[in-house]
């Protein structure tokens, strides 16, 4: 005869390895649900270990990812912008920084979540300074007033915990909405870009920065010699939320979305370099940047007004703005600069005239 076997109710007694003493063994009610006291004890133990959990209902109640730049960049994401040397990565990044800091559209896309931007100019301050000058000049911003871009020129190794902690402590009072690293190579000096382990250490540092500062992180990186993909370990592409690729053919720079984890990939954006009044360049969407022999609709309006209303006497910027109130002041300056560079206008002092007179 088989002996009577009493089945063990595994929900009645549980051992909790994170607790010691009486609380290590907790009783459950007859339905197998931990009592409130037991549940609170276990949650307190987990919280004390720095680990928290969401149950499935709490998980589904979490909000959908918000966008920082509508249709382009999710808020709080990690993005890598990849391109060959000299194509305009820093120019694009400075334009992005200015747009986010000043709540200005970026490549025709609305900035939804704006705020201060921390820019790690790890390749040197002079290149970033010239790009900021050009971007502010082209946008008509006062050069002596900050729009909220904070440039760090100190060398940093983002795989080193001390550097990551010091950066977070220094940047926290600025409450940045975005942090830009220019470039990966300078943030990982002495490490092997082809090593998944080394790249993982850098990504770990960037992720710590993202979480501690609660901001979007954007990283500039170089392409391989062929220009078709990012240099180094594929661990970088696997770890980040988004990857953009810059390429160039003739005078057109194409910005493509090669990866987008939390948003729909955007269609390729064609860009052109546009000269600014300070002699630098900014990037504009190709259809906004006139090619040789072309004028934009706003430029055509200015030429028509000069012919019809002012003739050979010419006009000042103020007079043109009075006649064309729908043209924003920054756009007026950009148009006048382009028309002057192309020889359609000349200017003496504050007066602009048709032709080379």
Cβ contact 300:102 at 8 Å: no
Give the Cα separation of 185 and 261 in Å (integer): 24
Rg (CA), the chain: 28
pLDDT at 94 > cutoff 60: yes
Mean pLDDT value across the chain: 84
Q: Among the CATH numbers 1.20.140.10, 3.40.50.1100, 3.40.50.300, 1.10.10.60, which is that of 67-288?
A: 3.40.50.300
Question: Which has the higher per-residue pLDDT, 107 or 32?
Answer: 107
Predicted local distance difference test score (pLDDT) of residue 180: 98
pLDDT digits (tens, 9 = 90+) for 40-89: 666 666 666 667 888 899 999 988 889 999 999 999 999 999 999 889 99
Residue 197 has pLDDT above 90, yes or no: yes
> What was the pLDDT predicted at 340?
85
- In tens, the pLDDT along 165-177 reads 999 999 999 999 9
As a whole number of angstroms, the distance between CA 254 and CA 270 comes to 5
Reported as a pLDDT band with limits 50, 70 and 90, residue 298 is confident
* CA separation for the pair 81, 94 (Å, rounded): 12
Q: How far apart are the first and last CA of the chain?
A: 119
Span 210-227, pLDDT tens digits = 999 999 999 999 998 877
CA 226 to chain centre: 25
Taking the model in full, what pTM does it have? 0.70
Residue with tokens 């910027």: 317
DSSP state of 189: T
Pairing status of strand 178-182 against strand 117-121:
parallel
Beta pairing, strands 351-354 & 345-348: antiparallel
Residue (of 354, 77, 112, 35) closest to 216 by Cα position? 77
Average pLDDT of 292-308?
A: 75
From 2.40.128.50, 1.10.10.10, 3.40.190.10, 3.30.70.20, which CATH number describes the 297-354 domain?
A: 1.10.10.10
Which structure tokens are listed for 237?
């592409």
pLDDT of residue 49: 64
Residues above pLDDT 90, as percent of the chain: 52
What does the pLDDT read at residue 61?
92
Q: Domain segments of the chain: what residues?
A: 13-60, 67-288, 297-354
């Amino acid at each position: 005869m088989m002996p009577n076997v009493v089945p063990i109710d595994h929900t009645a007694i549980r051992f909790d390895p994170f607790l010691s003493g009486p609380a290590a063994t907790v009783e459950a009610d007859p339905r197998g649900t931990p009592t409130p006291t037991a549940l609170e004890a276990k949650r307190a133990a987990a919280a004390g270990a720095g680990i928290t959990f969401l149950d499935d209902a709490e998980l589904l109640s979490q909000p959908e990812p918000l966008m920082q730049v509508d249709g382009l960049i999710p808020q709080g994401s990690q993005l890598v912008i990849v391109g060959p040397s000299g194509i305009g990565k820093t120019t694009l990044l400075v334009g992005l920084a200015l747009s986010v800091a000043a709540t200005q559209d970026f490549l025709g896309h609305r900035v939804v979540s704006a705020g201060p931007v921390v820019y790690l100019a790890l390749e040197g301050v002079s290149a970033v300074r010239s790009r900021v000058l050009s971007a502010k000049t082209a946008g008509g911003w006062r050069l002596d007033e900050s729009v909220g871009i904070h440039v760090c020129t100190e060398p940093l190794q983002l795989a080193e915990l001390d550097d990551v902690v010091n950066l977070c402590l220094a940047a926290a009072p600025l409450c940045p909405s975005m942090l830009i690293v220019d470039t990966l190579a300078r943030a990982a000096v002495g490490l092997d870009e082809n090593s998944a382990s080394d790249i993982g250490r850098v990504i770990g540092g960037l992720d710590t920065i993202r979480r501690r500062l609660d901001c979007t992180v954007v990283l500039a990186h170089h392409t391989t010699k062929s220009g078709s993909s990012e240099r180094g370990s594929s661990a970088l592409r696997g770890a980040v939320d988004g990857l953009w690729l810059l390429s160039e053919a003739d005078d057109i720079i194409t910005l493509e979305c090669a990866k987008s984890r939390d948003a729909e990939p955007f269609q390729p954006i064609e860009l052109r370099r546009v000269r600014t009044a300070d002699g630098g360049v900014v990037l504009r969407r190709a259809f906004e940047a006139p090619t040789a022999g072309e004028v934009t609709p706003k430029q055509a309006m200015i030429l028509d007004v000069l012919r019809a209303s002012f003739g050979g006497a010419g006009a000042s910027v103020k007079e043109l703005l009075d006649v064309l109130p729908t043209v924003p002041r920054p756009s007026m300056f950009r148009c006048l600069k382009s028309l002057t560079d192309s020889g359609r206008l000349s200017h003496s002092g504050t007066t602009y005239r048709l032709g080379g007179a």
